[in-house]
Amino acid sequence: MTVAPSDLLGRARAGDKRATARLLSVVENDEPGAADALRTLYPLTGHAEIVGITGPPGGGKSTLVNRLTGAYRATTDRVAVVAVDPSSPFSGGAILGDRIRMRERFLDEGLFIRSMASRGHSGGLARATSRIVNVLDALGYGVVLVETVGVGQEEVEVVRVADTVCLVTVPGLGDDIQAIKAGVLEIADVLVVNKADRPGADETARDLAQMLTLGAPRTAWKAPIIRTVAATGEGTDQLIAAIAKHRAWAAESGERDARRRAAARAEVEDLLRDSLVRRLRDRLGQERVERAIARVADRAIDPYAAVDELLRE
């Protein structure tokens, strides 16, 4: 049975988890009704605290997220977790592990957990994630945790939806620390050395601190380095305090507004681009566009000339 999105919306806003899940699918896959739902919900967004948790596979992100949800739930009515690609090829079996660890939380009415596959989103994964986070925000989730395996550019884009980004590393990363250096370190607001029960946590913290001094600082914020043992919960309070401190700084310094503006710009420009291409295609006729594409493929004309020609018509 299919349910009209407007009906879904009402039930989701009343706190119905099944309706919420269905609504998120509509929005995630850009199904009919998605734009209308987002239009209705958008004015209600902007209240949630959005926390990104990223880092190399197997670092303990899900275990940490589980700890954080427990702590946030003590003070927040509704907490949501969005796990992007929990079945990354780097860590087969993670889904099962996550499920078992999350089971104790399934009974919690105030916690909503959503998994997202990383492939097959129209307009890209980052856009789909941002739509989902917006819906959860509008539905009254006070804290939304976004977990993603941060090894590539796309994951970095995903975690940009967050107000505060936590990068989770572990002792003894060795050469992997180079990969972090190249990508996600620049966007990390809080650095976490998880599995601090293992040897080498001090060295890793030192390495990170040193790496931080290398790049030119983007803002006045100095990312703190927090040690945690997600397995036992040690350090969770310090991590939450660091996230809260960053949030306060971001609000005060204008960083939050700058990020929101960048996100709004990306969203509007994306939609604008889509809409312009669609209109142009309608105006010119799909056939003409296809003909130009075929000529480019045949090397009869270069892509720039093809675009010039189409725009001139």
Binding mask 43-82 for Mg ion (x = CB under 5 A): ------------------xx--------------------
Nearer to Mg ion, 61 or 78 (CB): 61
> CB 64 → Mg ion: shortest distance, Å?
9
Q: Crossing angle, helix 286-297 and helix 255-284, to 10 degrees? A: 100
Given the rule CB under 6 A, which residues bind ligand GTP? 57-63, 86, 88, 91, 94, 97, 149, 194-195, 197-198, 229-231
> CB 4 → Mg ion: shortest distance, Å?
35
Nearer to ligand GTP, 80 or 149 (CB): 149
> CB 263 → Mg ion: shortest distance, Å?
24
Strands (E), 182-292: 190-193, 225-227
Nearer to Mg ion, 96 or 280 (CB): 96
> CB 70 → Mg ion: shortest distance, Å?
16
**3-state SS, one letter per residue, for 294-311:** HHHHCCCCCHHHHHHHHH
Q: Which of 193, 179, 140, 133 is nearest to 160 (CA)?
A: 133
Q: Can you give the C-alpha Rg of the chain in angstroms? A: 22
> CB 147 → Mg ion: shortest distance, Å?
6
Nearer to ligand GTP, 175 or 298 (CB): 175
Sign of the dihedral through C-alpha 159, 160, 162, 167: positive
Within 10 A of 96 (CB to CB), how many other CB atoms are there?
11
Nearer to ligand GTP, 61 or 127 (CB): 61
Instruction: Spell 129-138 as b/e; 16+ CB within 10 A means b.
Output: bbbbbbbbbb
By the 8 A CB rule, do 119 and 27 touch? Answer: no
Nearer to ligand GTP, 5 or 235 (CB): 235
197 makes contact, choosing from Mg ion, ligand GTP, none, with CB < 5 to 8 Å by partner type, with ligand GTP
Strands (E), 57-194: 79-84, 111-116, 143-149, 164-169, 190-193
60 makes contact, choosing from Mg ion, ligand GTP, none, with CB < 5 to 8 Å by partner type, with ligand GTP
Question: Which stretches of the chain bind Mg ion, using CB under 5 A?
Answer: 61-62
